[in-house]
Amino acid sequence: MEQYVIKGGNPLVGEVEIGGAKNAALAILAASIMADETVTIDNLPDVRDINVLLGAIQEIGAIVDRVDAHTVKINGSTISAMSVDYEYIKKIRASYYLLGALLGKYKRAEVALPGGCDIGSRPIDLHLKGFRALGAKVDIQHGLIAAEAEHLKGTHIYLDKVSVGATINIMMAAAMADGKTIIENAAKEPHVVDVANFLNSMGAAIRGAGTDVIRIVGVEKLHKTEYSIIPDQIEAGTFMFAAAATRGDVTVKNVIPKHLEATTAKLLEVGCEVEEFDDAVRVVCAKPMHHTQVTTLPYPGFPTDMQPQMAVILGIAQGTSTVTESIFENRFKYVDELTRMGATIKVESNIAIITGVERYTGARVSAPDLRAGAALVIAGLAAEGITIVDDIYYIERGYEHFEEKLASLGAQIEKVSSEKEIQKFTLKVS
Ligand code: EPZ
């Protein structure tokens, strides 16, 4: 089992390059199998979830040619199986995108019920409601979701809750349905737009992505394309917050500043400076930070995927702050770990009440999920002394070369896999 070992206290300074958006890439990879020609996808993040999904895509018979770490060519003309029960796929949430993609293309799909980070109950009723509305028969049996239709027929779908996954999944199936589909109360996240742009580049007819009404006219076939994935707004936000927590000065490059507005707004509120460029943002945080309130909301609101990182900042900001989690009910599992590093946080229902302390103190902590794991690393970078973060498997699901990028900004962090290596690091930095 690997760990991160961190000696905190160094302000992060310098420039860091952000990779492609994991959550856009997962959906785009699944959608790529809908063409019978070769699709080239660039700016792919080289992270665990992506590699697991590529394994599953290969397993069902598609040709997957990994040109390099960030580029893949996929050809879906050789798909032979409609059933995805790949051993690892259950562990990634985005496996459900193969349902929409296979159902749209072949009108038939069987996919293992998805797992993913344990951040609360994660139903997929809205996805299934959408498929049924398009005319599919959907059953759940033996841990598999099976969907089948003679024809998919365009329809009007209202989503009771704003869901990124359901919006994308329904959009994929509807892209190859007969006639026109309208999705109302659609998610507006940048990656929803990116998936729509990708499908359109393959010949789909999708309008309105990025607003709450998406209109899709089904087409019979999708064709080859070359596509570059948008930058990861959550990876970018994580580095922006790491800069703030360590009182650093970091320029985060290869981003779309518009996608970072909610993150930037909170940094300004706590007293940091944020300078925006065409495709970069610079965060400088020299003065003491102060308290604020934040509530997670669907885009363009403050992202739930930045909630733990925000709490880490507020834990060392002056005064009392509140963080309200309105998307997932179980996303405060890092609070006990952060408390062990000296934070003063009380959770009442879906609200964390945080009283800022002067500094964190290094401790041994476990990453409970992907974003919370990244947040604990940020706390370690800001802490006095040595922090060891266990279970970094979660962090590697979504952050590419996390420790290397942080080290390039002056962080003292190493990936280790034994107590001996931890001791060696401790001796080196003391
Ligand atoms: C996506 O999850 C992301 N995952 C999550 O990223 C992210 O936290 C989330 O969107 C919100 O932005 C991927 O893209 C693979 P939702 P998803 O459907 O699609 C409820 C990360 O760290 N809901 O938008 O599963 C649901 O319970 C991760 O990268 C239903 O009730 O999220 C939640 O309360 C973790 N029924 C809300 O909607 C459904 O059928 C939003 O969930 C679907 C969702």
49 CA: nearest ligand 1 atom:
15
111: tokens are 């996919």
Quick: pLDDT tens for 352-381: 999 999 999 999 999 999 999 999 999 999
Beta bridge partners of 9: none
- Whether the upstream peptide bond of residue 298 has omega within 30° of 0, thus cis, is no
Q: Give residue 120's pLDDT.
A: 61
299 CA: nearest ligand 1 atom:
12
Q: Is the pLDDT of residue 207 over 80?
A: yes
Q: Give residue 92's pLDDT.
A: 83
Quick: pLDDT tens for 323-350: 999 999 889 999 999 999 999 999 999 9
Q: Is 92 helix (H, G, I), strand (E, B) or coil?
A: coil
Residue nearest atom 10 in ligand 1 by C-alpha distance: 164
129 CA: nearest ligand 1 atom:
40
Q: Alpha-carbon distance 103 to 152, whole Å?
A: 9
Among 122, 131, 212, 232, the mutation site with the greatest number of ligand 1 atoms within 8 A of its Cβ is: 122
State whether the Cα torsion 109-115-117-122 is positive or negative: positive
Could you tell me the pLDDT band of residue 410, with boundaries at 50, 70 and 90?
very high
Distance from Cα 217 to the centre of ligand 1, integer Å: 25
pTM: 0.97
Residue nearest atom 8 in ligand 1 by C-alpha distance: 305
Q: Give residue 121's pLDDT.
A: 65
Q: Give residue 94's pLDDT.
A: 86
Q: Determine if ligand 1 sits within 6 Å of the CB of residue 23.
A: yes
120 CA: nearest ligand 1 atom:
27
78 CB neighbour count, 10 Å cutoff: 10
191 CA: nearest ligand 1 atom:
14
272 catalytic? Reply is no
Q: Is the pLDDT of residue 311 over 90?
A: yes
Q: Alpha-carbon distance 263 to 240, whole Å?
A: 8
Work out the average pLDDT over 220-249: 98
Q: Is the pLDDT of residue 117 over 90?
A: no
The DSSP letter of residue 299 is: T
Q: Alpha-carbon distance 91 to 315, whole Å?
A: 31
Distance from Cα 308 to the centre of ligand 1, integer Å: 16
Looking only at the bridges linking them, the beta strands covering 273-276 and 280-284 are antiparallel
Residue nearest atom 34 in ligand 1 by C-alpha distance: 327
Q: Determine if ligand 1 sits within 6 Å of the CB of residue 305.
A: yes
Quick: pLDDT tens for 391-408: 999 999 999 999 999 999
Distance from Cα 24 to the centre of ligand 1, integer Å: 13
Could you tell me the pLDDT band of residue 210, with boundaries at 50, 70 and 90?
very high
Could you tell me the pLDDT band of residue 141, with boundaries at 50, 70 and 90?
confident
Say which amino acid occupies 17: E
> Catalytic pick from 28, 30, 117, 172?
117
Q: Alpha-carbon distance 165 to 153, whole Å?
A: 20
∠134-181-302 over CA atoms, to 5°? 100
Say which amino acid occupies 256: I
Among 23, 28, 126, the mutation site with the greatest number of ligand 1 atoms within 8 A of its Cβ is: 23
First CA to last CA distance, the chain: 24
Q: Mean pLDDT across the chain, nearest whole number?
A: 95
Q: Determine if ligand 1 sits within 6 Å of the CB of residue 170.
A: no
Q: Is the pLDDT of residue 91 over 90?
A: no
Q: Alpha-carbon distance 223 to 198, whole Å?
A: 11
